Structure 1
Amino acid sequence: MRFLQLLGFAAVALSAPLLEGRAKSKSFLKQINETTWVLGNSLWNVTQNRQYANKLFYKGQDRVGKAVGHYVSYNGAASDLNWTSAAIVDSGSDYINVKFTAKEGDFHWVIYDDLAGAYQYFVNHALPVLGEFRTLWRLDNSSFTKGRTYLKDGPLPPLSDYLAATKVQDETWQKADGTYLTKYDWSAVLRSTDYYGVYGDKVGSWYFNPGKDYYNGDQTKGELMVHRESLTGDTVQLNMIHGTHFQAIATDTFADGKTWGPWLWYLNDGSKTDAAARAEEEEAKWPYKWYEALDKAYRTRGRMQGQLALSDGRAAAGANVFLGDSNSTLSTLDQGANYYYTTTADKDGKFVIKDIRQGTYGLYAWSNGGKIGDVSTTFIKNDVVIREGDNTNLKKLSWPVTDLKKRIFQVGDFDRKSVGFLGSGGYFHGRIATCPANITYTIGKSKPSDWCFGQSSFGKYSITFSLASIPTTATGAKLTVSMAGFSTGSAADVLLNDVKVGRITNSATILSSQDTYRGATVSGEWHLLEMPIAKAQLKVGVNKVDFNVTASTLWRGWFWDSVVLDWQ
């Protein structure tokens, strides 16, 4: 008790709101003992221990309760960071910057006197090679009863539902009525996220991640956002700053000084309207001016612009543009060691990306459907140099594409997603198992919604098409199969007119990812397969391509992006 009294607090300080109710108190950090600190302001305060921040006082109540609280960890729950010290490393008239140090790096809380919440960021010093790195809150389930992402909003399932259900796979349970409970249904596409969090009738906890340049992966990357902890009932608010929930292999090595953030963790009365307004405000303020003074690399930013034109003369209207690693052997989804920027080209193929950290990048572009949904190729330009204060003008870039005069048929737009097919959209466990076992798609008659987004069950998906003639100049044909995701366990033979021309199965070129069985329905790990076709295999009249499932595992299979046959 004497140690607390020396700090100016009563002995009840750890079980009641610290400083709450005082007139305009300054933000603060107080050390209680060698392994415990209290930080916050007059609106809220957190008790941080060596591993967990196990108390959060806000609006007269501890909002952690019996839950675990706040922590930072990597590779799932395998390694939680342990804080060895804490100090105020920067301050101003209305804020303090509190640094917690662990052997892997430093976690910062930037606390403003009048802000319900804090800006946070992490600076790497010795993180190992990893796939997952996250910060998160596990909060009181009576205060925070609902979750919100841009895809899903509503009550989180109570713990009692899990206890009464049967576990069928990784964090997935089947209820007595046949429906499923899984945390993965609370996932969303990371770079499309505006704001997300958990809330109740009186309180809300939100994350705003403007900029997003510290995230790994591209525009198709999905991540788990919020959920109910199945063992304890804790309400979970995740901040997957380097995530792999729907990927195959995504491990990275990080340079000393690599920084994630800053982002804003924000508390309010549970109002989504207020949270949405705050999200817009934070997006407008990024890159944060207050942080530029602390990190020289953060403020060394430039601008890039250019225009993509297809080699057939069309503008690359609506193309996805990704600025990532130069001369990389990794897909854009699997890049993650550095900083990454995304945008969409306009109707003329023009694009602009602002506030890019200084460095050398690779520029990638691919079809996002629509007017260029017939483009199967990826544009790549390496060694793009961004300098502080400069505008890197790439001018007009030529994107080589396939001669569409040679196209025989196409099912679905190229966009690395299953958009347009039956059942595509959001995250829903088991939906791939609802796809028909057999489908026949007739070119010229069927529409994309007649073809299911995925295939997994024993059966056959067939595409029938007619040829009026065989071009004398053709030497053969090429079947292109673009898949938006693949989880091993199911496989199919690919046949043209009953002759095997290829196979969909796990291999060195088709790595299994955690997408179909975790309830993704739009995108996971993208794969492009090209299968040569002998000219003699095609005939005048009706022809048929079959995808005949030869091995089937429940919930494991592939998502379709596009299927194309071209003359060669």
Structure 2
Amino acid sequence: MNVSWRKAKSWGLALFITMAVEMFLVSQCFAKDTHGRPKKYDHTTSPGVTLNVTDKEVVIDNGIVQITIANPEGYLTGVSYGGVHNILEYHNKEPNRGYWDVVWDTNGYNGTDWLLGSSFNVVVENEDQVEVSFTYKWDSTTWNTSQVWRIPANVDRRYIMLRGSSGFYAYSILDREEGMPAAKMYQIRSVYKLDEQRFHYMAISDDRQRTMPMPQDRDTGLPLAFKEAVLLTNPTNPDFRGEVDDKYQYSCEDKNNKVHGWISFDPQIGFWIITPTNEFRSAGPVKQDLTSHVGPISLAMFHSAHYAGYDVTMSFQQGEPWKKVFGPYYVYLNSISQDTDFHQLWDDAKHQMIQETRSWPYEFPLSNDFPKSVERGFVFGRLLIHDRYKLRTIMAGSYAWIGLAAPGVAGSWQTETKVHVGYQFWTRADRNGGFLIKGVHEGTYNLFGWVPGFIGDYVYIEDIIITQGSVIKLGNLVYEPLRNGPTLWQIGIPDRTALEFYVPQPSSLFVNKLYTDSDQNKFRQYGLWERYAELYPDNDLIYTVGQSDYHTDWFFAQVTRKAENNTYKPTTWQIIFALHDVIPSTNYTLRIALASATRSELQVRFNDPELTIPHFTTMVIGSDNAIARHGIHGIYRLFNVDVPSEWLCVGNNTIYLKQTKHESPFFGVMYDYIRFEGPPPTT
């Protein structure tokens, strides 16, 4: 086999030079001031930070922003900025304005913990910085006896304000000690509910921003089949009549969820959640979650089951210890004059996000549980690909996603939420496959990755041990994607989503106008699952290799079909392909990569749809709900099926793909990629 190892060696030298330059740039261009902030603030002219504490509240003020926090509970009751006394919704009860919560359960109880503090402490107070702490100490003597259930963990909620900063930082530390009861955590987040009369315009990205409906528009609307979705029938703004509002239409992959928020037009003020890193979020960079939605509500999400289901539940056994820092994230406020284009607020927020990202990890948080830059490590290397049936030479793993997570098998990072406390560190490789992962906590990791355009997951299973100041050079790593033989045919693109398949236009009854002209976001419309039965009223989808086009002839999701009396039927799709000859006594290979699965069982049969026992079954898999929640993907799964030549015949063959579970319109699978391989050539 003629593999170009000399070329790989030269790439290794180039990588070393590239990384040396990059590390120099990191230290020079991304320089921080003495507080670890971007060099943006003029401390000589900015007033100092002040702290005022009473029995009921804590007020922090730096002359730009003032925040008021309940003492000792720790929820935010007010944010003053730009001449507005309180940009939070002051009609709400005080605990329902700016708060943290955890959705959890234990034996005999399930509900929400608001992480309320029971004591207050000043961590630091000077003109340059104030940091305050609101803590709760779990008490075993009141467990099972209190009327208010609390998660079995110690809680430390903190706020930081810096001199000259147009905003504030927030983070929380959850700490389970040995001896604490078993529990499961399903969601951890921070919530801000803004002034309904001022904040009407939401922005998530350059192409996902709009004026939003009002909360009362949802109250007067028509609830739809999926409980969070409402058809707006009598909105305060007539332009919204006939539109669907659904908070999941504004979800986002974590790798893109760095800044989002709201704009007030009078005065022109922006409120932004800036998350400079994903290291404290669960389940990797393509995990999807909520951002902002009608309220106006803005969220900092750290952990949830959205688009993944129970596979990502944080489940703690009796006595299992665990500690994790969630954040800090930055609440940024900006303003412009009334005669200026309001879009400049979004542009400025993006610029601030870049500054915050470059200054990570921050040096100013004072918790001992938050490691500073010198206490972290670097890992760098290059990922190469050797696909012997695609090219004989080694290729660069161009734009691969590379990450460090708890040791495990390939792809285990998708559901890893608490082992090694749940931190993950990801980066995007350059076009030559070179990568640099910086700011890594001390610990033991495996290195994981995947490359757009190639099937499956990569894992470097040797332990990578990070200590303070580690700089680990991994050199050239070679990923050999799964393959047994040459490709005979394929459907789709191995990119871990179903976006390349046919996503229909929504019903005229269920439209969100934000996405009517967007090819990249067309899957975010409500009710697309119902279009399948309209497009295939009598028979299920049939795809003929060599004639059909997956862009137009492969529906984006294999869903159920509505039957009589509000029941549903399973669906069976067919793939027809021709073989000019069949090599006897050998195995072919069918690879099915799923982008999503919700309470589904996919059965595979060759040339006999009535076969009692299928040739292959996934068994029942998935609870990511991505079909109903407009996600285009959930958890990635790859199934590899050995196909004995006895199952095949010369001429036309048919693969029957039956999704058997049919209790709901939301049950089904999304395909990422299907490939049929011939047997390996004889030598």
Distance 1:57 1:259, change over 3 A: same
Q: CA deviation at 1:404?
A: 6.3
Matched, 1:239 2:300: yes
Distance 1:108 1:377, change over 3 A: closer
Matched, 1:26 2:43: no
2:526 alignment partner in structure 1: 429
TM-score (norm 2): 0.72
**What do the CA deviations read for 1:32-74 (whole angstroms, capped 9, x no partner)?**
32x4333333223233222632222222332122132111111
Q: CA deviation at 1:485?
A: 0.9
Q: CA deviation at 1:432?
A: 3.2
Matched, 1:539 2:649: yes
Distance 1:379 1:470, change over 3 A: farther
Amino acid of the structure 1 residue aligned with 2:450: W
**What do the CA deviations read for 1:390-422 (whole angstroms, capped 9, x no partner)?**
321122223233346432221112232223122
1:302 alignment partner in structure 2: 377
1:286 alignment partner in structure 2: 360
Amino acid of the structure 1 residue aligned with 2:313: T
Matched, 1:45 2:66: yes
**What do the CA deviations read for 1:279-331 (whole angstroms, capped 9, x no partner)?**
11111211223348965733311111222333434323333222101136973
Matched, 1:170 2:227: yes
Instruction: Decide which moves more: 328-337 or 194-203.
Output: 328-337
Matches within 5 A, 1:213-232: 213-228=279-294
RMSD of aligned alpha carbons: 2.8
Q: CA deviation at 1:157?
A: 1.9
Q: Check conservation: 2:593, 2:674, Cα contact below 8 A.
A: yes
From 396, 399, 402, the counterpart of 1:321 = 402
Matches within 5 A, 1:103-502: 103=137, 104-126=154-176, 129-150=184-205, 152-167=208-223, 168-176=225-233, 179-201=243-265, 202-228=268-294, 234-249=295-310, 250-252=312-314, 253=316, 257-269=323-335, 271-291=345-365, 297-299=371-373, 300-311=375-386, 312=388, 313-315=393-395, 316-327=397-408, 331-337=412-418, 338-369=422-453, 373=454, 375-403=455-483, 405-423=485-503, 425-426=520-521, 427-435=524-532, 436-437=535-536, 438-450=540-552, 451-458=554-561, 459-472=571-584, 475-488=586-599, 493-499=603-609, 500=611, 501-502=614-615
2:236 alignment partner in structure 1: none
From 98, 108, 122, the counterpart of 2:132 = 98
Q: Check conservation: 1:71, 1:135, Cα contact below 8 A.
A: yes
Amino acid of the structure 2 residue aligned with 1:57: S
Matches within 5 A, 1:52-67: 52-58=75-81, 59-64=83-88, 65-67=90-92
CA distance in 2: counterparts of 1:520 and 1:413, whole angstroms: 17
Amino acid of the structure 1 residue aligned with 2:634: G
The alignment-based identity, stated in percent, is: 22
CA distance in 1: counterparts of 2:475 and 2:442, whole angstroms: 19
Q: CA deviation at 1:94?
A: 1.7
2:623 alignment partner in structure 1: 512
CA distance in 1: counterparts of 2:629 and 2:457, whole angstroms: 28
Q: Check conservation: 1:420, 1:449, Cα contact below 8 A.
A: yes
Instruction: Decide which moves more: 137-146 or 541-550.
Output: 541-550
CA distance in 2: counterparts of 1:376 and 1:463, whole angstroms: 22
**What do the CA deviations read for 1:523-545 (whole angstroms, capped 9, x no partner)?**
21222223332312211222222
Q: Check conservation: 2:410, 2:457, Cα contact below 8 A.
A: no
Q: CA deviation at 1:484?
A: 0.8
Amino acid of the structure 2 residue aligned with 1:297: P
CA distance in 1: counterparts of 2:313 and 2:603, whole angstroms: 31
Gaps (5+ residues) in structure 2? 1-44, 105-110, 138-153, 178-182, 234-240, 336-341, 504-518, 562-570
Amino acid of the structure 2 residue aligned with 1:251: T
Q: CA deviation at 1:352?
A: 2.0
1:72 alignment partner in structure 2: 100
Matched, 1:560 2:560: no
Q: CA deviation at 1:447?
A: 3.1
CA distance in 2: counterparts of 1:170 and 1:314, whole angstroms: 50
CA distance in 1: counterparts of 2:333 and 2:213, whole angstroms: 22
**What do the CA deviations read for 1:471-505 (whole angstroms, capped 9, x no partner)?**
34x612232221111112x6554332234545667
Amino acid of the structure 2 residue aligned with 1:327: G
CA distance in 2: counterparts of 1:519 and 1:186, whole angstroms: 9
Distance 1:101 1:520, change over 3 A: same
Distance 1:326 1:493, change over 3 A: closer
Count, aligned residues: 531
Q: Check conservation: 2:160, 2:168, Cα contact below 8 A.
A: yes
Distance 1:478 1:557, change over 3 A: same
TM-score (norm 1): 0.86
**What do the CA deviations read for 1:417-439 (whole angstroms, capped 9, x no partner)?**
22312228443332233344443
Amino acid of the structure 2 residue aligned with 1:60: V
CA distance in 1: counterparts of 2:501 and 2:164, whole angstroms: 49
